[in-house]
Structure 1
Amino acid sequence: MNASTIGSIALEAFLELPETKPASEYIDGEIIRKPMPKGRHSRLQGKLCAAVNQAAEGQRIAYAFPELRCSFGGRSTVPDIAIFLWQRIPFTATDEVPDDFELPPDWTIEILSPEQNVNKVIGNILHCLNHGSRLGWFVDPDSLSILAFARDRQPVLLRGSEILPVLPEIGLTLTANQVFGWLKMSG
């Protein structure tokens, strides 16, 4: 089943609608439902969030949010993982995490699902970079590769034992082999 376009409305009207499961995104005036995450997607999402948060949350450097709605630049998308540096998290007056994030993540990660349109997913990463994100990963479990995007250079395709770029503030070293090794859960 492909992600389907549901209809065309203004962004403000979209943000007033109830959330859907799976999430819907607002892109170029259209409401597009994301596909339901499957096993490999969920496993990689959980492990990547845990790795980033283990390296960065305790020291209040950054936090990785799974499936967080981010609305900025005329779009409202739900990256698979949105990583924000601590000082950019728009905490409430009582130091709680807010419900609404109206800014781009510092680092966005998208994990390709079989039903997803590659160009739509990469388009979301590019939208984030064009509005202030510093890093984007496009994770493809089928090819065991990660396409890394940064604002200041061409995308880089990484596989095997190549070290993956992370935000310099986060003390984390990962290779593509390590990331895709998380898919193996038995003996």
Structure 2
Amino acid sequence: MTAIVTENSTLVEFLQLPYIDESPAWEYINGQAIQKTITGAKHSLLQKRLVGVIDTAGSNYEAFPELRCTLGNRSIVADIAVVASNQIPLDENGDITSTGINFAPAWIIEILSPDQSQTRVTGNILHCMRNGTQLGWLIDPYERSVIVYQSNSLPDILSEADVLPILEGINLKLTVNDIFAWFQRVS
């Protein structure tokens, strides 16, 4: 589902809309408000497991599912945004804010859904990379591959036993096979 607020809507106007965080969330890309697609079981499972393994890896980073990232005249909702613990925005009470972040996450992970535009998702990753993100993954559950984006290098397509790059300081080793093995039912 795609909706346009107005031809000339601004990011400030978009962020004031009352429904942008309803499920599925809305993103602001190139002057348009676009609603994300509804995800399926594979997407949800990968998102849940990745957040869990990243957070239990013992580091100075936190993984957030569906976190709004507003930067450089774009507001996206990353499937997973990994943020340095010391950058997590806090309110006057010391509680985490509810508005998302206004900077590029250190690591962005997007999981392709069947009805989702790979071009739009890739554009969101590249936008974050241009604005300071160090690492990006585009996981394609149907091709069982991961396109990896890193600062100062061309994207790479990894599959099977390829070891995925992880942010420095996160004690985690994952292969592409490890990620897709989560689809197997465990009794």
Q: Same fold (TM over 0.5)?
A: yes
Q: CA deviation at 1:10?
A: 1.1
Residue 158 of structure 1 pairs with residue 154 of structure 2: no
In the alignment, what sits opposite 1:86?
A: 85
Correspondences of 1:20-59 after superposition (within 5 Å): 20-56=22-58, 59=59
Partners of 1:97 and 1:37 in 2: CA distance? 26
Partners of 2:151 and 2:143 in 1: CA distance? 24
Counterpart amino acid of 1:22? P
Deviations 1:93-122 (A, max 9, x none): 433211221111100000000000010000
Deviations 1:134-171 (A, max 9, x none): 00000000010000001211111111111100101111
Counterpart amino acid of 2:79? D
3-state SS of 1:136 partner = strand
The answer to whether the 8 A contact 1:6-1:33 is kept is no
Sequence identity percentage: 39
Partners of 1:74 and 1:135 in 2: CA distance? 20
Number of corresponding residues? 182
Q: What runs of 5+ residues in structure 2 fail to find an aligned partner?
A: none
Q: What runs of 5+ residues in structure 1 fail to find an aligned partner?
A: none
Counterpart amino acid of 2:54? V
3-state SS of 1:80 partner = strand
Partners of 1:76 and 1:24 in 2: CA distance? 9
TM-score (norm 2): 0.93
3-state SS of 1:79 partner = strand
Query: Superposition RMSD on alpha carbons, in Å?
Result: 1.2
Partners of 1:114 and 1:51 in 2: CA distance? 25
